[in-house]
Amino acid sequence: MKNKIILFFLLFLFIKVNAQNSISGTITDNNTGNTLPGVNIIISDLNSGTVSNVNGYYILNNLPNGQFFVTYSFIGYESVTKKIVLKGDTHLTINIAMKPMIVQSQEVVVTGSFTGTQHENTVQISTLNSKSINQTGAMSVMASLKKIPGVSVVSKGPGVMTPVIQGLSLSNILVLNKGIPMENFQFSMDHPYLVNESGISRIEVIKGPASLMYGSGAVGGVINFIGEPAARPGKIQGNINLKLYSNTLGTNSDFGIKGNHNGFIWGIGAGINSQEDYIQGNGKFAPNTRFNENSARVNIGLLKKVGSFRLYYNYNRAKLGMAVPPALSIVTVRGRKNSVWFQNLTDNLLISKNKLFLGNFKINADFSYQNNNRRLEGSSKTPVMELVNMTLQTFTYRVKGTYEFSSQLKSFLGLQGMAQSNKNFEAPQHVIPNANQNDISIFSMTRYQWKKILILEGGLRFDHRKVVIPSFISKGTGLTTQKIVRNFNNLSASAGANLHLSEKLLFRLNIASAFRSPNIAELTQNGVHGNRYEIGNSDLKNQQNTEADMGFHFHSLHSTIDLSAFYNNINNFIYLAPTGTTSSGGFPVYKYLQTPSVLYGGQAGIHIHPHPLNWLHLILNYTYTLGKKQNGEYLPLIPANKIHSEIMLKKDVWNKFLNSYFRISVDHTFAQNHPSQFEESVPGYTLTGISAGTSVKINKNIISINLIGNNIFNTVYMDYLSTLKEVGIYNMGRNITLSISYSF
């Protein structure tokens, strides 16, 4: 089968590729007719673009054959997206008349089944761009995800956070870095992903099953960190960013510089994030919640008419304090340096992303190697300082060929796989044993569009996973576990529709099955992990779910309304539950079990720009989620229901100031009175935030300043998804963030 697929791809290499396509035109103000210099023109599939000149003129040469989306964006104006088709020696003239900004228009997203605009997807894809991330005042990029309705985070302090999408988390969520699955031992809420906002242009989030596109683990959804586009042709561009935090006396700084010389592109960057123990709303410091992170990145590549070829290297080193009981008695003075009870994490990620445009056929070929080392450092009171030391090495590949039969019909066929190996070193605690895992998958999807009214999608996927775990002796008990060899097979399917009921109203419906195979920890654990003794289950089966997602989207000149609902039926849901017994060391014993479960809920949101007060924005969102096991008990880590309200005054151009805004937000989180078997209820709370910012253009460079205040009234509260409530630590009190960015 594998050889046939490769042969299928190679057959298309004989298609003529010597395209000499170009697009050009003039960009003007729709109201005045004046030309607009400095408009950004981006083709997302090519990861490149240009800027209009002093006369509003632009040109893009040496473009390959195929169908692309061109986005025109400019401060103070609505973005414009045009779909173009290039067929060989095509020279298109596209003149654009841009309208002053009232409502942000639809954007192009790449995480869905096919690259396209938001209004073409059968599932809604939420986005958070770098500007919005910067305006949250968050100390980590994961914390900024809470701005998206339906997305929450499980936290053990500001440095240790993992995402939750519509009630599912940990191994049920797939996190991608530039489209590559991250492998960071994500089976535990204490194991964060090593990713930050440096070099990231935006985040795209699929809320719901996406196994057909991405495989095991995408049961609850996908979070994709999209890299920044290449520098404009013939230019060298850069940015310097600095954030200062009042609560943690912290700093978060990074810089990046990139260039584009006749299609040869390059970029380098680095960042440092350092935070002291945070202060709770009651004025006390939270012992050992300090963290320090260093990162670096390099990329090189070629952008040519036949395609793009890019190589990325990302390095992350993080030291994350652990607010666990042994540390609380040792850390009695607030500080910054990690010296006892901290995770010492190192991640090296090498990515090769390649695109070939061969007439109506496009090939995406992505390869990656990730080396993730996890160490847990104890203290002088533990038998040895280094308690855990293990390295996870992962090689992944994903090759997808998309063929456009016509402007209405297109399909893709893909091959995906992974080879993974975990190795323990001399440290005494083996959280998971030495193990090897191999995956291979084949997947396909077809999209049909009827006029501009109806879009239909459907696809199938087959996955095979083999897990081999040699016999081992548990470090915790001395018991021998026999060799485990498990094979997991799965067939996934998806079908969706996007119906434009009118020019302003569209309806989405998607029904999809998804799965995840049990991970190594769930199959084999037998020892102390954190504050409990965890026991694996070698008989676990695939976790399989079927979810229906439905949504309405309405947009007019001065408002947008979104309504969505989901129902997720999960067979063999894997969860960790207390057994009611204790180990010989006095730790409560937990074991991995399976049960049928169901989750359901939805989101409702409205965004109003009342005419003629176009500078006024009124935003209101409500999120509801509930999860239960078959026996009626509630599922763990289900976020409380939440209302977010916001008033923002925004002026894109005001004298010499750009993107000026003033925002007041109020977040009310309801009491969570439906705790799972081993969780406790928490009362509701309300948090208020105030922020303001602006940008100034000096020559051709831009300086941006944001002042963000979170929890302004210093509310004392415990988030239901904070694991620090188990040791009596409240969430962070008032924090003021000063953010300064300089782009050149």
The pLDDT tens digits of the residues spanning 491-533 come to 999 999 999 999 889 999 999 998 888 988 888 887 777 677 8
Domain residue spans of the chain: 16-101, 141-743
Look at residue 482 in the predicted model and tell me its pLDDT.
77
Look at residue 543 in the predicted model and tell me its pLDDT.
92
Is 135 exposed, middle or buried (CB count within 10 Å of its CB: 0-12, 13-18, 19+)? buried
Look at residue 476 in the predicted model and tell me its pLDDT.
52
Going by C-alpha positions, the residue among 320, 146, 196, 149 that lies closest to residue 719 is 146
Calculate the dihedral angle through the C-alpha atoms of 714, 720, 722, 723, rounding to the nearest 10 degrees: 140
Which pair of tokens denotes residue 690? 């105030």
Residue 281 or 212, more confident: 281
Q: Are 627 and 597 in contact (CB under 8 A)?
A: yes
Look at residue 475 in the predicted model and tell me its pLDDT.
58
Which pair of tokens denotes residue 637? 């880590």
Residue 12 has phi, psi (to 5 degrees) of -80, -5
Q: Are 457 and 447 in contact (CB under 8 A)?
A: yes
pLDDT band at 474 (very low <50, low <70, confident <90, very high): low
Q: How far apart are CA 723 and CA 344, in angstroms?
A: 20
- Residue 91: strand, helix, or coil: strand
Exposure letters 37-67 (e unless 16+ CB within 10 A, then b): eebbbbbbbbbbbbebeeebebebeebbbbb
Compute the average pLDDT of residues 276-301: 96
Instruction: Give domain 141-743's CATH superfamily.
Output: TonB-dependent receptor, beta-barrel domain (2.40.170.20)
- pLDDT tens, 596-625? 999 999 999 999 988 888 789 999 999 999
Q: Are 386 and 378 in contact (CB under 8 A)?
A: yes
Q: Are 556 and 504 in contact (CB under 8 A)?
A: yes
Look at residue 102 in the predicted model and tell me its pLDDT.
53
Pairing state between β 484-500 and 505-516: antiparallel
How many residues are listed for the chain in this entry?
A: 744
Q: How far apart are CA 537 and CA 600, in angstroms?
A: 28
Residue 16 or 425, more confident: 425
**Out of 18-22, 77-81, 360-364, least confident range:** 18-22
Going by C-alpha positions, the residue among 317, 225, 314, 239 that lies closest to residue 274 is 317
pLDDT band at 6 (very low <50, low <70, confident <90, very high): very low
pLDDT band at 577 (very low <50, low <70, confident <90, very high): confident
- pLDDT tens, 437-466? 999 999 999 999 998 899 999 999 999 999
**Out of 288-297, 549-558, 733-742, least confident range:** 549-558
Position 117 pLDDT exceeds 90:
no
Is 386 exposed, middle or buried (CB count within 10 Å of its CB: 0-12, 13-18, 19+)? middle
Residue 13 has phi, psi (to 5 degrees) of -70, -15
Name residue, tokens 């596109």: 213
Residue 312 or 219, more confident: 312
Name residues whose C-beta falls within 8 Å of residue 451's C-beta, 6 or more positions apart in sequence: none
Position 11 pLDDT exceeds 50:
no
- Signed CA dihedral, 172, 178, 179, 185: sign only: negative
Pairing state between β 532-535 and 588-608: parallel
Is the domain spanning 16-101 CATH 3.40.50.720? The answer is no
For residue 692, the tally of other CB atoms under 10 A from its CB is 17
Average pLDDT, the chain: 88
Name residues whose C-beta falls within 8 Å of residue 698's C-beta, 6 or more positions apart in sequence: none
Name residue, tokens 């985040």: 203
The answer to whether the bond into 612 is cis (omega within 30° of 0) is yes
Largest CA distance in the chain: 80
**Out of 165-174, 180-189, 556-565, least confident range:** 180-189
Going by C-alpha positions, the residue among 490, 526, 496 that lies closest to residue 508 is 496
Which pair of tokens denotes residue 711? 């929890």
In the beta sheet, which residues pair with residue 286? none
- Signed CA dihedral, 564, 570, 576, 577: sign only: positive
Compute the average pLDDT of residues 187-198: 84
Position 88 pLDDT exceeds 80:
no
Q: How far apart are CA 174 and CA 182, in angstroms?
A: 8
Going by C-alpha positions, the residue among 720, 331, 723 that lies closest to residue 530 is 723
The pTM (predicted TM-score) of the whole model is 0.86
pLDDT band at 9 (very low <50, low <70, confident <90, very high): very low
Position 1 pLDDT exceeds 70:
no
Position 26 pLDDT exceeds 70:
yes
pLDDT band at 426 (very low <50, low <70, confident <90, very high): confident
* CA count, 13 A, side-chain hemisphere, 317: 6
- Residue 6: strand, helix, or coil: helix
Compute the average pLDDT of residues 338-344: 94
